[in-house]
């Protein structure tokens, strides 16, 4: 498990809190404990079998009893209020969501207690020019969370986004890093004027690892962070690079899985887990409620049920349709959920007038998102059965015959040739290209 120095958080926090000067040592102990918990436990993950954050919390409370956390929840559920100097739930810092219909759903950030604590820690660290690395599986929202933080700087700092891939080399990376820099006095280089520059490195662990176990882009980054310079590749002279910092994201289940510890030690590492079902319910219901404000109240009251049905179906699909050597693309995550609701958000008052219309649209979007990934007719039939059972269970007060006969269900004319869609009262013909089995 990767850990960071607690002083990375402690110094960033205390030196900005001048009101702490002259306080009792007990106050400093509280801040130290908070910093140590996130320094050693920030990278702890939650998998399908064990929530290691809960295990870490139990271990911490049993071993260190000088500073006591509230008994409810885990040690990660609380922050220190700078006024009362007491542990306070992160839920009290969650801001109210404001819906913007012009913004794509993939870029919408609905904060929960899980996201607000990561954002708050990034506020502490990145504002003080500390490097931050977010870990998480594909689709967990780490890149959106980081982009949301960086967009908050507006014109205060320059942001350069760099997406790593297998073919990224130190040579190509150095060209990208040098592009926004300008020459200062002597051999000094930096961003224009007095601004500061943040490099956002996405998919940090994707570059090829050579036979010696190193990745050349990582070596260049480590050289800059360690010594604040790199070499001019033409003149072979030093370039001192100033007023630059790094933030990064990576998926530990892809690419080279890890990065060199000599580079990773410079980052404050935090794991980003998939939101809980309760958090997902809050996120998508908040967005859907805002969209349905323009619709009749008979539709608005089905918002909670629709989100509940979507989460049940997503859980079922991700558990049943697992990736194999042939079906390697059977990976379902939050991106699929967002695509479903993005399609629903395109609806207007002219297309949806009855609750059954909303359910039919939901069935159509889930069929397109999940069904278009499926290779076999048996898988498609299984998906249809999942849809039917969940719809009957959740929307038990609606006429199931209308939903079944007039929904966005697909009628297979010839599965190897084409699909005919009956969507909201209209037949639409799509060409269908199928993999040759």
pLDDT at 419: 44
**Residues 251 and 214 reside in one and the same domain:** yes
pLDDT at 333: 85
Q: Please report whether residue 25 resides in a domain.
A: yes
> Which range in 91-100, 349-358, 376-385 is most confidently predicted, on average pLDDT?
376-385
Which domain range does residue 307 map to? 277-431
Q: Which residues lie closer than 8 Å to 147 by C-beta, 6 or more apart? A: 107, 200
**Residues 208 and 286 reside in one and the same domain:** no
| Percentage of residues of the chain with pLDDT beyond 90 | 38
DSSP result, 113-173 = HHHHHHHHHHHHHHTTT-EEEEE--TTSSHHHHHHHHHHTTTTSEEEEEEE--TT--HHHH
Q: Are 323 and 330 in contact (CB under 8 A)?
A: yes
**Interatomic CA distance for residues 414 and 404, integer angstroms:** 21
Q: Which has the minimum average pLDDT: 53-57, 297-301, 331-335, 395-399? A: 395-399
Q: Which residue has the higher pLDDT, 270 or 99?
A: 270
For residue 265, what is the domain's CATH number? 3.40.50.300
Residue 425: helix, strand or coil by DSSP? coil
- Residue 133 gets the label, from left (phi > 0), alpha (psi -120 to 50) or beta, of beta
**Residues 263 and 321 reside in one and the same domain:** no
Q: Which residues lie closer than 8 Å to 145 by C-beta, 6 or more apart? A: 109, 115, 118, 119, 134, 272
**Interatomic CA distance for residues 265 and 65, integer angstroms:** 28
Handedness of CA 369, 375, 377, 383 (dihedral sign): negative
Q: Please report whether residue 436 resides in a domain.
A: no
Residue 396 has pLDDT above 60, yes or no: yes
**Residues 237 and 341 reside in one and the same domain:** no
pLDDT at 237: 92
Residue 174 has pLDDT above 90, yes or no: yes
DSSP result, 360-375 = HHHHHHHIIIIITT--
Tens-digit pLDDT profile for residues 400-418: 666 665 444 443 333 343 3
Q: Please report whether residue 1 resides in a domain.
A: no
**Residues 262 and 340 reside in one and the same domain:** no
pLDDT at 15: 45
Q: Please report whether residue 437 resides in a domain.
A: no
Q: Please report whether residue 15 resides in a domain.
A: yes
Residue 233 has pLDDT above 60, yes or no: yes
Q: What share of the chain is helix, strand, coil (3-state, %, to 5)?
A: 45, 15, 40
**Interatomic CA distance for residues 334 and 68, integer angstroms:** 36
Phi, psi of 307 (to 5 degrees): -65, -40
pLDDT at 278: 83
**Interatomic CA distance for residues 233 and 179, integer angstroms:** 14
**Interatomic CA distance for residues 92 and 73, integer angstroms:** 15
* Final residue before a domain boundary, out of 252, 271, 290: 271
pLDDT at 401: 67
Vertex 66: Cα angle to 60 and 68 (nearest 5): 65
**Residues 112 and 175 reside in one and the same domain:** yes
Instruction: State how many domains the chain has.
Output: 2
**Residues 216 and 282 reside in one and the same domain:** no
* Final residue before a domain boundary, out of 214, 245, 271: 271
**Interatomic CA distance for residues 294 and 349, integer angstroms:** 7
DSSP result, 337-362 = HHHHHHHHHT--TTT--SHHHHHHHH
**Residues 132 and 19 reside in one and the same domain:** yes
**Residues 224 and 181 reside in one and the same domain:** yes
**Interatomic CA distance for residues 195 and 156, integer angstroms:** 7
DSSP H or E stretch at residue 176? helix 170-178
Helix extents (H) in 204-354: 216-227, 261-264, 277-291, 297-300, 303-320, 334-345
**Residues 139 and 264 reside in one and the same domain:** yes
**Interatomic CA distance for residues 114 and 117, integer angstroms:** 6
Q: Which residue has the higher pLDDT, 139 or 227?
A: 227
Phi, psi of 241 (to 5 degrees): -105, 125
Read off the pLDDT band of 199 (50, 70, 90).
very high
| Percentage of residues of the chain with pLDDT beyond 70 | 86
Q: Which residue has the higher pLDDT, 347 or 97?
A: 347
Q: Please report whether residue 206 resides in a domain.
A: yes
**Residues 199 and 320 reside in one and the same domain:** no
Average pLDDT over residues 345-350: 85
* Final residue before a domain boundary, out of 242, 271, 300: 271
For residue 411, what is the domain's CATH number? 1.20.920.30
Q: Please report whether residue 327 resides in a domain.
A: yes
Return the structure tokens found at 300.
């608005």
Tens-digit pLDDT profile for residues 118-171: 999 999 899 888 999 999 888 788 888 899 899 888 788 999 999 999 999 999
Angle between helices 355-366 and 334-345 (to 10 degrees): 140
Read off the pLDDT band of 5 (50, 70, 90).
low
C-alpha distances out from residue 303 to 17, 67, 310, 332, 435, Å: 43, 43, 11, 23, 37
**Residues 265 and 398 reside in one and the same domain:** no
Q: Are 149 and 121 in contact (CB under 8 A)?
A: no
């Amino acid at each position: 498990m990767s850990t960071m120095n607690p002083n990375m958080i402690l110094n960033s926090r205390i030196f900005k809190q001048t009101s702490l000067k002259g306080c009792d040592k007990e106050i400093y102990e509280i801040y130290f404990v908070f910093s140590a918990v996130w320094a050693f436990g920030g990278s702890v993950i939650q998998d399908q079998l064990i929530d290691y954050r809960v295990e870490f919390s139990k271990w911490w409370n049993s071993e260190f009893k000088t500073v006591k956390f509230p008994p409810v929840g885990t040690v990660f559920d609380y922050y220190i209020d700078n006024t009362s100097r007491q542990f306070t739930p992160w839920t009290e810092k969650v801001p109210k969501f404001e819906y913007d219909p012009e913004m794509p759903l993939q870029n919408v950030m609905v904060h929960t207690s899980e996201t607000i604590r990561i954002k708050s820690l990034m506020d502490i660290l990145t504002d003080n020019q500390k490097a931050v690395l977010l870990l998480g599986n594909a689709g967990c929202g780490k890149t959106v969370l980081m982009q949301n933080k960086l967009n908050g700087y507006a014109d205060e700092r320059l942001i350069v986004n760099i997406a790593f891939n297998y073919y990224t080399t130190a040579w190509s990376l150095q060209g990208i890093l040098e592009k926004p820099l300008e020459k200062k006095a002597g051999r000094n280089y930096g961003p224009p004027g007095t601004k500061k520059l943040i490099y956002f490195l996405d998919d940090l662990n994707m570059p090829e690892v050579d036979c010696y176990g190193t990745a050349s882009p990582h070596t260049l980054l480590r050289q800059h962070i360690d010594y604040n310079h790199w070499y001019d590749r033409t003149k072979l002279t030093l370039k001192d690079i100033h007023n630059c910092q790094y933030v990064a994201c990576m998926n530990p289940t892809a690419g080279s899985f890890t990065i060199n510890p000599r580079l990773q030690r410079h980052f404050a590492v935090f794991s980003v887990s998939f939101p809980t079902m309760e958090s997902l319910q809050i996120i998508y219901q908040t967005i859907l409620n805002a969209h349905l404000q323009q619709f009749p109240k008979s539709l608005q009251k089905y918002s909670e049920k629709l989100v509940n049905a979507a989460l049940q179906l997503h859980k079922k699909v991700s558990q049943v349709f697992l990736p194999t050597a042939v079906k390697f693309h059977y990976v379902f995550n939050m991106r699929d959920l967002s695509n479903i609701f993005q399609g629903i958000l395109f609806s207007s008052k002219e297309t949806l007038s009855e609750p059954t219309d909303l359910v039919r649209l939901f069935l159509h979007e889930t069929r397109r998102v999940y069904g278009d990934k499926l290779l076999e007719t048996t898988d498609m039939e299984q998906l249809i059965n999942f849809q039917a059972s969940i719809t009957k269970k959740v929307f038990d007060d609606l006429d199931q015959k209308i939903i079944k006969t007039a929904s966005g269900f697909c009628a297979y004319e010839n599965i190897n040739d084409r699909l005919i869609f009956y969507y909201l009262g209209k037949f639409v013909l799509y060409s269908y290209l199928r993999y040759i089995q």
